[in-house]
Amino acid sequence: AQSVTQLGSHVSVSEGALVLLRCNYSSSVPPYLFWYVQYPNQGLQLLLKYTTGATLVKGINGFEAEFKKSETSFHLTKPSAHMSDAAEYFCAVTSPTGNQFYFGTGTSLTVIP
Protein backbone atom coordinates (compact mmCIF):
# COMPACT_ATOMS: atom_id res chain seq x y z
CA ALA A 1 0.00 0.00 0.00
CA GLN A 2 1.02 3.56 -0.52
CA SER A 3 2.03 5.68 2.41
CA VAL A 4 2.16 9.40 2.91
CA THR A 5 4.27 11.17 5.50
CA GLN A 6 3.60 14.72 6.55
CA LEU A 7 6.45 16.13 8.60
CA GLY A 8 5.22 18.26 11.44
CA SER A 9 1.74 17.77 12.81
CA HIS A 10 1.65 21.43 13.86
CA VAL A 11 3.19 24.37 12.04
CA SER A 12 3.02 27.99 13.17
CA VAL A 13 3.92 30.95 10.99
CA SER A 14 3.54 34.66 11.33
CA GLU A 15 1.08 36.50 9.13
CA GLY A 16 2.90 37.44 5.93
CA ALA A 17 5.57 34.76 6.32
CA LEU A 18 6.26 31.85 4.02
CA VAL A 19 4.18 28.74 4.51
CA LEU A 20 5.92 25.41 3.89
CA LEU A 21 4.12 22.14 4.61
CA ARG A 22 6.03 18.98 3.83
CA CYS A 23 4.77 15.80 2.23
CA ASN A 24 6.68 12.69 1.20
CA TYR A 25 5.19 9.58 -0.29
CA SER A 26 6.28 6.03 -0.94
CA SER A 27 5.49 4.66 -4.33
CA SER A 28 7.18 2.58 -6.97
CA VAL A 29 4.97 4.16 -9.60
CA PRO A 30 4.49 7.92 -9.89
CA PRO A 31 1.07 8.50 -8.40
CA TYR A 32 -1.38 11.30 -8.57
CA LEU A 33 -0.85 13.71 -5.69
CA PHE A 34 -3.20 16.06 -3.89
CA TRP A 35 -3.35 18.64 -1.16
CA TYR A 36 -6.59 19.15 0.70
CA VAL A 37 -7.56 21.73 3.31
CA GLN A 38 -10.03 21.26 6.13
CA TYR A 39 -11.56 24.11 8.08
CA PRO A 40 -13.12 23.39 11.47
CA ASN A 41 -16.25 21.25 11.36
CA GLN A 42 -16.14 20.96 7.60
CA GLY A 43 -15.23 18.37 5.02
CA LEU A 44 -12.04 18.47 3.01
CA GLN A 45 -11.63 20.77 0.03
CA LEU A 46 -9.18 20.29 -2.80
CA LEU A 47 -6.35 22.83 -2.85
CA LEU A 48 -4.43 21.47 -5.80
CA LYS A 49 -3.46 18.28 -7.57
CA TYR A 50 -0.69 16.85 -9.67
CA THR A 51 -1.47 14.27 -12.31
CA THR A 52 0.91 14.67 -15.22
CA GLY A 53 2.82 17.44 -16.94
CA ALA A 54 4.26 20.48 -15.23
CA THR A 55 5.70 19.59 -11.84
CA LEU A 56 4.90 22.96 -10.28
CA VAL A 57 1.20 23.04 -9.60
CA LYS A 58 -0.77 26.12 -8.64
CA GLY A 59 -3.89 25.86 -6.58
CA ILE A 60 -6.47 28.02 -4.94
CA ASN A 61 -5.81 30.78 -2.40
CA GLY A 62 -2.24 31.34 -3.59
CA PHE A 63 -0.94 27.89 -2.72
CA GLU A 64 1.36 25.88 -4.93
CA ALA A 65 3.22 22.58 -4.72
CA GLU A 66 6.09 21.02 -6.59
CA PHE A 67 6.31 17.36 -7.48
CA LYS A 68 9.87 16.11 -7.12
CA LYS A 69 10.08 12.52 -8.23
CA SER A 70 13.71 12.07 -7.19
CA GLU A 71 12.83 13.13 -3.64
CA THR A 72 9.35 11.53 -3.63
CA SER A 73 8.07 14.82 -2.28
CA PHE A 74 5.15 17.12 -2.89
CA HIS A 75 5.62 20.06 -0.53
CA LEU A 76 2.99 22.79 -0.26
CA THR A 77 4.01 26.43 -0.17
CA LYS A 78 2.49 29.89 -0.03
CA PRO A 79 4.66 32.99 -0.15
CA SER A 80 2.69 35.03 2.38
CA ALA A 81 0.45 33.55 5.05
CA HIS A 82 -2.93 35.03 5.76
CA MET A 83 -5.01 34.58 8.88
CA SER A 84 -7.62 32.77 6.84
CA ASP A 85 -5.06 30.06 5.99
CA ALA A 86 -5.31 28.62 9.49
CA ALA A 87 -6.66 25.12 8.97
CA GLU A 88 -5.69 21.46 8.75
CA TYR A 89 -3.88 20.40 5.60
CA PHE A 90 -3.74 16.89 4.21
CA CYS A 91 -1.51 15.42 1.55
CA ALA A 92 -2.91 12.48 -0.40
CA VAL A 93 -1.71 10.04 -3.02
CA THR A 94 -3.52 7.56 -5.22
CA SER A 95 -2.83 3.87 -5.48
CA PRO A 96 -1.14 2.66 -8.68
CA THR A 97 -4.55 1.65 -10.01
CA GLY A 98 -5.93 5.07 -9.15
CA ASN A 99 -8.98 3.76 -7.35
CA GLN A 100 -7.81 4.32 -3.78
CA PHE A 101 -6.60 7.47 -2.09
CA TYR A 102 -4.18 7.44 0.85
CA PHE A 103 -3.93 10.39 3.19
CA GLY A 104 -1.23 11.69 5.47
CA THR A 105 -1.96 12.37 9.12
CA GLY A 106 -2.38 16.07 8.51
CA THR A 107 -0.63 19.29 9.47
CA SER A 108 -2.41 21.90 11.52
CA LEU A 109 -1.39 25.38 10.41
CA THR A 110 -1.59 28.26 12.86
CA VAL A 111 -1.11 31.81 11.63
CA ILE A 112 0.09 34.26 14.25
CA PRO A 113 -0.98 37.90 13.86
Partner 1 sequence: DAGITQSPRHKVTETGTPVTLRCHQTENHRYMYWYRQDPGHGLRLIHYSYGVKDTDKGEVSDGYSVSRSKTEDFLLTLESATSSQTSVYFCAISVGTSGITGELFFGEGSRLTVL
CB of residue 106 vs partner 1: minimum separation in angstroms?
5
Q: Does 74 bind partner 1 (CB under 8 A)?
A: no
Calpha distance 63→29 (Å, rounded): 25
Task: Tell me if 25 sits within 8 A of 7, measured CB to CB.
Answer: no
Calpha distance 31→17 (Å, rounded): 30
- Looking at 42, 55, 61, 110, which residue binds partner 1 (CB under 8 A)? 42
Pairing of strands 73-78, 19-21: antiparallel
Q: Does 51 bind partner 1 (CB under 8 A)?
A: yes
Q: Does 14 bind partner 1 (CB under 8 A)?
A: no
Of the two residues 51 and 80, which places its CB atom closer to partner 1 in the complex?
51
Calpha distance 77→112 (Å, rounded): 17
Which residues form the interface with partner 1 (CB under 8 A)? 1, 6, 9, 32, 34, 36, 41-46, 49, 51, 90, 92, 94, 97-106
